Structure 1
């Protein structure tokens, strides 16, 4: 059985130079993928992923094992992506705050439209959403995070996360021609599928450890899918 993120973090903090590269190996694909879906630019996503591991490495001692390491690391990635969007002059809307008290049956993320669609089509739909909704859905369905953990990542109240999940799901339904009531359109009967239930609370879900930079021990150039953080990388 492999070491947990928390154990790897402990080894890093204890001076074990071999531990951090293992954290990078475990998270680099996920962090890059997350950044790419938010920024929609491979180069910007590489930069954000690298910045994430640099800041994680430098701030490793601030990680508190009371929460999953993954949410700590994704919080850093979230901040890197938001900074990149602001630098590019994009404003991140927060107009979902006008969903004050949604009933529980409306905000549960158990009815994800994702399960009704093939992966490629879902990618296209998510990419078409405003970033605050696509991010919440990505964290919920790709990272298996519940509202409480997503709230820690994005820095907004849990109720806001639930509103974003609800509205993001409704936007996808609308794009598929499905009314908020769930009535399917003639063109997309698959969107009417009932999706599998997902209990969202992230209690004791995952534990893990952060990421690096300057003087960071580890090489992230040996990636099977692409040289994401390539030979010139500081990671």
Structure 2
């Protein structure tokens, strides 16, 4: 996959070179001999050693992408390094799929939306602001795509017991909303399963914004601030979404547990 050009925000925001320092060559053909090329070396950042770039004539040592933080990987992705794109995909493929899967409850659809989210993110790396977490920026893209799909298709297929389209027990367990207790009796288990079915239907009736906020906060475990960043709305709006979502759930579930 070809990456975006070097106009990426994280590259533009990097420290300027000192006057007279040769511009780095990233191994592109046609460079004159004698120009310094970056190789890998270790330097200390945030209390630990990382492998990154060392100026050394004519020598290039492979970068240890797994040892870099997200921002550093994005910098290399902006320069068109395919291993950098693969590293970002490795780190976030499962979390993005999980987020989308919980919202649409269909494995095939979740795969398609997650793939679309990565394609869109990789083509928009230039708009990423390194002041924020890359994961939140990526989740925001995935969330927006999923919300748009839910609105267009008017899906209400949230499942508290896991997707009926799950291809394995592990996949179903990862997508379920737990309302049971390991110490419950068989009778309590049956009651909780019935309650879960009602909750499943109730969540499916929430408007997409409320559903997303409730799932991100109470199922995915994100903080209010993270939910606001992912949904790209003010913190107060997130709290309103969650409050109204809870209120609607209470109305929809009135008398169910009594």
How far does residue 157 in structure 1 lie from its aligned partner after superposition? 2.7
More strand by share: 2
User: Which residue of 57, 60, 64 maps to 2:122?
Assistant: 57
Change (3 A) 1:118 1:16: farther
Aligned to 2:234: 157
Contact 1:37 1:127 in 2 (8 A): no
Q: Which has the higher contact order (CA 8 A, sep 6+)?
A: 1
TM-score, normalised relative to structure 2 = 0.51
- 1:94 is aligned to none
Quote the offset at 1:177 in angstroms: 6.0
Asked if 2 retains the 8 angstrom alpha-carbon contact of 1:38 and 1:135, the reply is yes
- CA drift at 1:133: 2.7
Say whether residues 1:138 and 2:215 are aligned partners: yes
Name the residue aligned to 2:131. 66
Displacement of 1:142 in angstroms is 4.8
CA displacement at 1:186 relative to structure 2: 7.0
Structure showing greater radius of gyration is 2
Deviation, 1:173, is: 5.7
1:102-134, Cα deviation, whole Å (9 max, x unpaired): xxxxxxxxxxxx887559979864674123233
Q: Distance in 2 between matches of 1:43 and 1:29?
A: 14
Distance 1:186 1:138 in 2: 21
In the alignment of these two chains, the number of paired residues is 159
Q: CA RMSD in A?
A: 3.4
State TM-score, norm by structure 1. 0.55
Match of 2:244 among 159, 163, 167: 167
Shift, 1:8, TM fit: 1.4
Aligned to 1:16: 81
Q: Determine the C-alpha separation between the residues in 1 that align with 2:181 and 2:242.
A: 20
2:30 is the counterpart of 1:30:
no
